[in-house]
Amino acid sequence: MDVNNQFAGPQRVVITGMGLISPLGNSVESTWQGLINGKSGCGRITLFDTSNIEIKIACEVKGFDPNAYFTAKESRRMDRCAQLAVAAGKAALADANYVITDDNTYDTGIIMGSGIGGVNTLTNEHAIMMSKGPNRVSPFAVPMMLPDTATGQMSIHLKIKGPNFCVVSACASGTNAIGEAFELLRSGRASVVLAGGNEAPVNAFAISAFHNMGALSTSNDDPLHASRPFDAKRNGFVTGEGAGVLVMETLEHAKARGARIYAEILGYGVTNDAYHITAPDTIGPAVAMRIALKQAGSRADHIDYINAHGTSTSLNDSNETKAIKAVFGERAYGLTISSTKSMSGHLLGAAGAFEAIACVKAINESIVPPTINYDNPDPSCDLNYTPNVAVKKPVHVTMSNSFGFGGHNASIIISEYSE
């Protein structure tokens, strides 16, 4: 690594690889096929016994075998959230055809977002302490439960030694991680960054906590239709798990190594509501979108597709609709919008990464995934949410929004790449 080449900015930033483990499939392509076919990833919970809790449904990752990626010892010392992240990271690196060497390892970084980190480890080890005593708590509990457990494990397994940290901003974490990677690359502080999000919150504690605050759908008897963003009968989000990783690099670096370029990141906006710890505001999200659009410049004059935060909660969906109208005015009614959370559920800190990948695929395939389960129009949500069926159309420029508890707002602009 030639440190004298750092801080050359501003650089153009492109996406050259993607990896995804999700409720719809354990690859980008299988997930994408699920999205454009309107497939729901929701079902009855299998990861733990739900007999003593009220919520019985979630969007679980299916068929994920840690033994395909790790030794038995490695698996025991990694929370599920880290296992998913490393698997997605390996897939993204392979997709980008980028090999880590002694020459590039310090010029390659990792920035991941996670809202609650290794919550499975935390709850499991607490149960052990209460039943067997404090001396039985695992010495690996702390490094397994920290939110940055995934970035640390990714660096070890992928041999990446450059900038490495975790963004924790609730449900905006994944988008913030991508945005911060964008800024890191623009400034010339790295040539390549793996960025995205990871989460594995399908356990009794996390689901009970979200349910008790009134955030989750209670449609236990109809899981396939439980997540219904923007629909008048929406009654909460569905908890999801997964990990998504983008390989992002400066255009100069990508061209020099002959990389395939999927798309380009043009802008990133980030704000906070300073309003309420859980209830959304309208002004903060709107300002974040405006900042992203301003940084993107004239190439973002026409947004072809917005992947909305669209959680399927009453306040979020109506407030995001208001924010989009505030930014785009009358043009809002001509925008194509959808919430892929209708199919994936809410992946919390991984949601932004999942949705950024959906935007890239929409650009590459000229297809907008739908918002499924949109059957009952809501007067407060009166835009075009691509109801129930994917739409074929040219997609040149996209916006992806993420809003999190704590008032966190993040918006990124992803476009097709052109010289």
Q: Catalytic residue positions?
A: 171, 309, 346
- What is the distance between the alpha carbons of residues 262 and 353, in angstroms, rounded to a whole number? 15
Q: Residue 198 is encoded by which pair of tokens? A: 């990871």
Using CA atoms, how far apart are residues 318 and 310, in angstroms rounded to an integer? 9
Closest CA to 402 of 302, 268, 218: 268
Tell me, what DSSP letter sits at residue 162?
Answer: S
Residue that the structure tokens 């913030």 belong to: 176
- The encoded tokens of residue 45 equal 């919970």
Residue type (1 letter), 131: S
Sheet holding 108-113, edge to edge: 164-167, 108-113, 192-199, 242-250, 13-21, 263-272, 408-415, 397-404, 305-307, 337-338
* CA distance to 9, 369, 384, per residue, from 33 (Å): 37, 10, 22
Question: Under 8 Å CB-to-CB from 68, ≥6 apart: which residues?
Answer: none
Contact of 178 with 264, CB cutoff 8 Å? no
**Which residues make Cβ contacts (< 8 Å) with residue 327, sequence separation at least 6?**
286, 289, 290, 293
CA distances 127 to 118, 215, 349, Å, are 15, 25, 25
Tokens of 263: 């798309």
Structure tokens at 249: 């690099």
Tokens of 306: 């917005």
Strand partners, 245: 19, 196
Inter-CA distances, 388 with 317, 384, 414, Å: 17, 11, 24
Per-residue tokens: 251:
């255009």
Alpha helices in 187-313 (DSSP H): 204-212, 251-256, 283-296
